[in-house]
C-alpha cells in the first residue's frame, strides 16, 4: 500500500518560508547607495549648468568684442583726418565732414562712439582700453611702427582692450586682450 505523506519543510530555520522581507542592514545599504548616486547626479547637474552659463556668457562677450572692432575698423578706415589723440579717446573728421569720437570711460567701463549727436555704447564691462597712434613707416627689422610726433602724421590707430563679466558673484569670464591695428585709408594729406 501506498501512503501519502504531507509535505513538510525540512528547514530548521524558524519561519524561513514566511520571512521574505528586507533586513535593516540591507535597507540602510540601499538608502546609502541611492543617496550617494543622487548626490553625484546633483553635483554633475550643477557643474554642467554652471559651465553652460559660462560658455554662453563667453560667446556673448566675444560677439560684442567682434562687433565693436568691426564698427571701429569700418569707421577709422574712412576718416579724413585725426583731430585729437589721447590714450582713452580719439576724435576724427569723418568723410561726411562730421566729427567722430571714440571715448573710453574707466569709471563706467564703457567705450562710446559719438557722431552726429548720437552716442552708441560699443563695449560694456571693459576693464581697460588704450588707443595709440603711429605713422605708416615700420621700424626696420620689426613689425613695430614709428609713433607720431603730430596728429597730422597719424596713419595707423592701435586699440587694445580687455573685457570681463561677473558670474555667480565672481569674475568668471575674461576675454583675452583684443588688439587691432587699423590703417586710415582715406586720410587726406595736409
- Give the domain ranges of the chain: 26-183
Annotate 151-175 with b (16+ C-beta within 10 A) or e (fewer). eebbbbbebebbbebeeeeeeebeb
Read off the pLDDT of residues 75-108 as tens digits, 9 standing for 90 and up: 999 998 899 999 899 999 998 889 999 999 999 9
Q: Are 154 and 91 in contact (CB under 8 A)?
A: no
Residue 171, pLDDT > 80, answer no
Read off the pLDDT of residues 99-146 as tens digits, 9 standing for 90 and up: 999 999 999 999 999 998 999 999 988 889 999 999 888 888 888 888
**What percent of the chain shows pLDDT beyond 70?**
84
Cα 157 to Cα 138: distance, rounded to the nearest angstrom: 14
Q: What is the pLDDT of residue 60?
A: 87
Mean pLDDT, range 3-28, rounded to an integer: 66
Residue 14, pLDDT > 70, answer no
Q: Which residues contact 76 (CB under 8 A, 6 or more apart)?
A: 92, 157, 182, 184
Alpha helices in 120-174 (DSSP H): none
Mean pLDDT, range 50-64, rounded to an integer: 87
Cell numbers for 122: 560699443
More confident residue, 168 or 154: 154
Give the dihedral of Cα atoms 141, 144, 145, 151; nearest 10 deg. -160
Q: What is the mean pLDDT of the chain?
A: 84
Cell numbers for 135: 605713422
Q: Are strands 126-138 and 118-123 parallel, antiparallel or unpaired?
A: unpaired
Q: What is the pLDDT of residue 1?
A: 53
Residue 180, pLDDT > 80, answer yes
Q: What is the pLDDT of residue 30?
A: 93
User: 37-41, 141-145, 166-170, 182-186 — which one is most confidently predicted on average?
Assistant: 37-41
Q: Quick one: which of 180, 158, 76, 69 has its CA closest to 122?
A: 69
Look up the pTM and report it. 0.72
Would the CA dihedral through 153, 159, 160, 166 be positive or negative?
Answer: positive
Amino acid at each position: 500500500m501506498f501512503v501519502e505523506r504531507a509535505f513538510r519543510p525540512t528547514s530548521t530555520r524558524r519561519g524561513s518560508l514566511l520571512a521574505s522581507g528586507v533586513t535593516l542592514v540591507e535597507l540602510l545599504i540601499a538608502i546609502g547607495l541611492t543617496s550617494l548616486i543622487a548626490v553625484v547626479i546633483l553635483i554633475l547637474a550643477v557643474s554642467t549648468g554652471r559651465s553652460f552659463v559660462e560658455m554662453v556668457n563667453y560667446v556673448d562677450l566675444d560677439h560684442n568684442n567682434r562687433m565693436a572692432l568691426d564698427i571701429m575698423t569700418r569707421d577709422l578706415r574712412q576718416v579724413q583726418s585725426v583731430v585729437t589723440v589721447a590714450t582713452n579717446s580719439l576724435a576724427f573728421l569723418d568723410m561726411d565732414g562730421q566729427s567722430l569720437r571714440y571715448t573710453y570711460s574707466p569709471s563706467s567701463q564703457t567705450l562710446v562712439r559719438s557722431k552726429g549727436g548720437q552716442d552708441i555704447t560699443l563695449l560694456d564691462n571693459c576693464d581697460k582700453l588704450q588707443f595709440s597712434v603711429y605713422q605708416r613707416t615700420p621700424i626696420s627689422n620689426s613689425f613695430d611702427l614709428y609713433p607720431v610726433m603730430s596728429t597730422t602724421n597719424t596713419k595707423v590707430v592701435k586699440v587694445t582692450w580687455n573685457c570681463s563679466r561677473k558670474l555667480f558673484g565672481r569674475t568668471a569670464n575674461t576675454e583675452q586682450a583684443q588688439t587691432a591695428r587699423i590703417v586710415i585709408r582715406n586720410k587726406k594729406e595736409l
